[in-house]
Structure 1
Amino acid sequence: MPLKSFYTLKTKAVPARYGLNKNIQDLLIALDDHHNGSIDAEEIGRLVRLSPKRRAAIANTITKCANIIKNQPNEIPTCVDVIEMCTELLEIADRKSPVDGFPFFRLPMEIRERIFALMINNVFRTKSVLPASNRPGPCKCPRFDRDNTFQTTQMKDLKRIFGPNLITLEFYRVFFRTKTFRFRCPCELRSHLTNNNILFDNVRKIVVQWSGPEAAKTFQLLKSVPKLKSLGIVISRLTYIHLNERSALMKSYFPLAYKNTRLGDVLGLDELLEIRGLNQVEVMIAHSSRGGTQSNEMDRANLLDLLSSRLTQPKEYDNDVEL
């Protein structure tokens, strides 16, 4: 048993003779446990930091021992031991906590992914996410949604909480698996896929409104998105504005034949039919306030039947098979 310990002090009836209160006695007992290896220094530090009364008890005990030394010189060795023990308590309490934090990666992968899923669902309360763009592109497609994407403080703080390495690995794997990413036009989708490697490498579910002059290039790019498993196409009156190269040429020579644009003449259909390896395909009609009309219902049903029969085929399937 070391000379400086609460047990030694108790054998000399020091707590009773010096009038040590319960707070300082609890701390001295914890110090003994720390020396014996029962608790670590972090626990001692928390006991002192989380209770102003305990810290005050240390200061009061040091003052009390100083007064005893003046009046009772024979108590000097015992008082010095008590003062040194109190000083050690303060030194432990004032140490900086280790920067490592909680060993999160020691948890099983299933638990880590469950924690990520809970955090994602708490921060992103909708199933679909509209990605924010820091710089507007050259796209001039009509905007039916607000340009300023809503972003909460919690969304901005996620990267600061986890750190860059964790964010780009397990967190994004769970995030992209659980959320659908919605784009207002193929131009916007192509810009994000081109400039955001994390999105390109991990996105699994995409919904895009089919319109604009970039539809063909965007759908061509979707063929190379490695983890894409679900694609939603939204059609509206805007879908029929841009024709593919052949139909545009024929319309200039046979305008009457193209008085009513057919879905098979729309820009991007050929590239869309070349996509393979999807698990799910959806075709939706835009709300009437966003350029949609119920007259598109027949085209929606037929397009869904066509895309479902082709886009869900394995990627090894020959894309050159004739329709």
Structure 2
Amino acid sequence: MSSKSWYMLKIKSVPTRYGLSRNIQTLLQALDKFYTGSIDATELGRLVRLSPKRRSAIADTFSKCADMMKKEPEELKTCIDIIEMCTEILVIADRPVPTQGFPLMRLPVEIRDAIMDLMIDNVFRAKGIKAATKRIACNCPKIERDFFLQTPQMKALPSLLGPTLNREFFRIFFRKKSVRFRCCCEMLDHLKHNEHLIRHVRQIKVHWCGPESAVAFEKLSECPKLEGLALSISKSTLAHLSERTDLMKSYFPLIYRNIRITDVLGLDELLGLRGLQEVSVQHAQTKNANLTVEMDRANLAELLSTLLKQPKEDDMSLGE
């Protein structure tokens, strides 16, 4: 075994006899770990750079070795070994820090998923998230209060990962988080322009209102991973009627004096969805929910749960 090792210095009781400080002992042990491959040059250099006391401990060790060589010439070989070890530590510490990143894509997919999972939980604390703000040409009311604070870290994280990691990030992100939309127009716009959303989203909550409700709910059928849909209804939900109801209303005005939830635009497209695991309906404004309105909500929730939770036609054909 080489004499230039922490193990050999310990055998000779060099740290005690020379009075080596705790800082230099830590560095000499780290140099041994560098030799064996337990740590790399970057980590060893970091031990020196991040502690001014450790760098000064190296200079103190040089002085102690010089004094020891004067007092006890027989210690010359050991002193030279220590000086060479300290010099090597300084050379490693003063190397330029490598600029390339960690090769994350070389890790197994399970480890990458675990890393992404931790990143998402650390940056996005809430269970639900709101869609990124976009200017949409609609006059849909913003009824629900905005509970979600979008921090700079939330905005920056997806753009820092790069195209390849971005795909893995959104696959896990939309698996864990529920996405909220203020109206069907906003939901349709995001579904049209965000391929990650339509490919990976699993939970959606939306206020059912707007002239694009039918197209938006039909677009949901293109989301292969969608598992849960939470609808908020309000008086705004009744503002837009289906094409059939509009036609009938022009000929039977007395029958349609009171608009029913079954006449609303988008219901037919909603009833065409299949394969969901969770479906819920709630009032966007609970204060104005009288008994009739609450009965409509409950009946709608039962209807949607009955139909939307049925398996998709592809799944049924596979079962046969």
Q: Is TM (by shorter chain) over 0.5?
A: yes
**In the comparison of the two structures, how many residue pairs are matched?**
312
Q: Which residue of 2 aligns with 1:233?
A: 231
C-alpha deviations, 1:226-273, integer Å up to 9, x for none? 111111222221111211112212222322221111222211111111
Q: Which residue of 2 aligns with 1:173?
A: 171
Where structure 1 has 5 or more consecutive residues not aligned to the other structure, the ranges are: 318-323
Q: Among 274, 277, 290, which residue is 2:275 paired with?
A: 277
Change (3 A) 1:203 1:293: farther
Cα contact 1:41–1:92 (8 A) shared by 2 = no
Change (3 A) 1:280 1:146: closer
Change (3 A) 1:78 1:233: closer
Letter in 2 for 1:216: A
Q: Which residue of 2 aligns with 1:306?
A: 303
The sequence identity of aligned pairs, in percent, is: 52
Change (3 A) 1:3 1:294: same
Q: Distance in 2 between matches of 1:249 and 1:123?
A: 50
C-alpha deviations, 1:266-309, integer Å up to 9, x for none? 111111111111122212222146x7555311211222222222
Cα contact 1:278–1:313 (8 A) shared by 2 = yes
**Aligned pairs for 1:129-278 within 5 A:** 129-133=129-133, 135-145=134-144, 150-159=149-158, 163-169=162-168, 171-278=169-276
C-alpha deviations, 1:105-140, integer Å up to 9, x for none? 74782x76566555544443433222122x311111
C-alpha deviations, 1:179-236, integer Å up to 9, x for none? 2222121111101111111111111111212111111111111122111111122222
Change (3 A) 1:296 1:13: closer
Cα contact 2:144–2:284 (8 A) shared by 1 = no
Change (3 A) 1:278 1:34: closer
User: Residue 92 in 1 paired to residue 92 in 2?
Assistant: yes
Cα contact 1:220–1:271 (8 A) shared by 2 = yes
Letter in 1 for 2:313: E
RMSD: 4.0
**If the length of structure 2 is used for normalisation, what is the TM-score?**
0.77
Q: Distance in 1 between matches of 2:146 and 2:29?
A: 62
Q: Distance in 2 between matches of 1:28 and 1:121?
A: 38
Change (3 A) 1:154 1:293: farther
Q: Which residue of 2 aligns with 1:128?
A: 128
SS of corresponding position for 1:283: strand
Change (3 A) 1:208 1:9: closer
